[in-house]
Structure 1
Amino acid sequence: MRPNIVTEAGLPTRVSQWWEGIPFLTSAIVIICGVIYLVCLLTGYDSFEEICFWPLAVIHKFQVYRIYTSVIFHGSLLHVMFNMLALVPLGSELERLMGSVRLLYIMILLAISNAFLHLLIAFLVAHNPFHPSQYLMNECAIGFSGILFSLIVIETSLSGAQSRSIFGLFNVPAKWYPWILLVIFQVLMSNVSLLGHLCGILSGFAC
């Protein structure tokens, strides 16, 4: 009598099954951002000041295209990988709840509201009567993380969870979850846009 031989699926099979389980819109965003980064890498394109969210250029030159180009471009391989790996579970969950069309509509609105809040805060800081500073007006923000922070707020609200895990290390009250992530990323990672992430959280609550 021959024994039953049980084999585990190989890595390519498991990756294929994982990818097939990702809804359409979420996988489309991952592909778009990944292809854009790959094209930039192969062509040597690194003039991100042309496409980043630069408040001074948006206000003075009316370069409103930056609202969306800044979202789909990323500055490094680690940057795009981290954002897309964060998007997959988050976007998949929301897309299953809302549907692809509604989630796309919300993401478009989030990009606009994030940009509006970003411009408003940068302008107020630059023209306040106490200590005016042009720093935020000249900040060049790039990447999908602003929208990710908005989606974190929305998904946390829709889930009804009372607590959330921080990287599997400890739990925090759900209402503090996005704020604690904001502080952690700001402390642990260099050259990240505090204002971009903050505006993402504020837009998420508004939504």
Structure 2
Amino acid sequence: MGKPLFYEIWEKPATSCIIAICSAIWFYIQKHNIGYSHVGLSYETLMEGHYWRIITSAFSHISILHLVFNMSALWSLGVIERLGHIGLGVKYYLHYTMLLVVLSGLLVLGMYHLLIQKFKLDYFRRVTAVGYSCVVFGWMTILATKQPSSKLELFGFLSLPISFAPFESLIFTSIIVPQASFIGHLSGIIVGYAIAWGLIHGMNNYWAVSMLGWIVLVVVLSLKKSGTYDFEFLEIESVTDSSLPSVRFLSSGNGRTLQMSATPDVGANLV
């Protein structure tokens, strides 16, 4: 007999929280009839300053099958949280999940930029990516490198050797799901190998908290600057001398105001 569900949740706290967050976001999207174009990541919207989409696109899913497939794979990969004895564990999982979200999103955009500018494929300007698969593929790759004897369980009955899972899943999803983002999944695999091979390393609590702070700051400022959400306490102004950027808090009657110098600056892919 398998372990009780509550025991599994206790052993995979970070994975369980991420699954709960993605599920809650999916429910909110369905309830409020939000489309992928409102939360997804595309080259065109990023050029308009919607940097917050790097985060929202990763945690958003439009269809229930898309959500179930990603979360089923993620649940199986939660075994990483129990592998502290080989240098993984809960803290490692949290630190590098944050890196996978950001770096895989940036790599997707870098590939789009190359395809648009070098190969003149303007189609990729408007391709919109949503889903947590970049991170899932990244963790598949890390686990395949660190613990090649593990297996990836999908839907409770399909079992794949983890050593082949990243590329098997890449081919499998590309065949059965035409909308699946090959570039998004490949980006997750590339970042996963970079982390597993030590090309990207050194994350600790200090760097994780610092990175989280910068992510929150960039998300808030981009939401404000792009006009997506109006933070009344936040003001972004341009000054004559653009070579001297400054950030300062000024007291006001309603609290504190942040002033910052600034210079003006097709379909969906499931990931």
**In structure 2, what is the Cα distance between the partners aligned to 1:164 and 1:16?**
22
> CA, structure 1 residues 112+171, in 2 after alignment: closer, same or farther (shift >3 Å)?
closer
Counterparts in 2 of 1:22 and 1:33: CA distance versus 1, 3 Å = farther
Corresponding position of 2:238: none
TM-score (norm 2): 0.63
The superposition leaves residues 74-108 of structure 1 with CA deviations (integer Å, 9 ceiling, x where unpaired) of 01111111111111110x21112223232111011
* Structure number with higher strand proportion: 2
- Taking the TM superposition and a 5 Å limit, the aligned residue runs for 1:1-207 are 14-18=4-8, 20-43=9-32, 45-58=33-46, 60-90=47-77, 92-97=78-83, 98-128=88-118, 131-161=119-149, 174=163, 176-207=164-195
2:72 partner letter? L
Q: Which amino acid counterpart does residue 79 of structure 2 have in structure 1?
A: E
State the superposition RMSD in angstroms.
Answer: 2.7
Deviation of 1:14 after TM superposition, in Å, equals 4.8
| Cα gap change, 1:71 to 1:132, in 2 (>3 Å) | same
More helix by share: 1
Structure 1 alignment gaps of length 5 or more = 1-7
**CA–CA distance in 1 between the matches of 2:58 and 2:158?**
29
Instruction: Report the Cα offset of residue 164 of structure 1.
Output: 6.3
Cα pair 2:103 2:191 within 8 Å, conserved: yes
Post-superposition CA distance 1:119-167 (Å, at most 9, x none): 1111111111xx4101222210101111100000000111033x96897
Aligned length in residues? 189
Structure 2 unaligned regions, length at least 5: 196-271
The change in CA–CA distance for 1:166 and 1:24 in structure 2 (over 3 A counts) is closer
Structure 1 length as normaliser, TM-score?
Answer: 0.80
Cα 1:77–1:166 change in 2 (3 A) is closer
The residue identity in structure 2 corresponding to 1:123 is H
1:52–1:141 Cα contact (<8 Å) kept: yes
Residues 4-27 of structure 1: per-residue CA shift (max 9 Å, x gap): xxxx99xxx954555x45411100
Whether contact under 8 Å (1:22, 1:88) holds in the other structure is no
For the 8 Å contact 1:33–1:72, the answer to whether it is kept is yes
Q: Percent sequence identity over matched residues?
A: 25
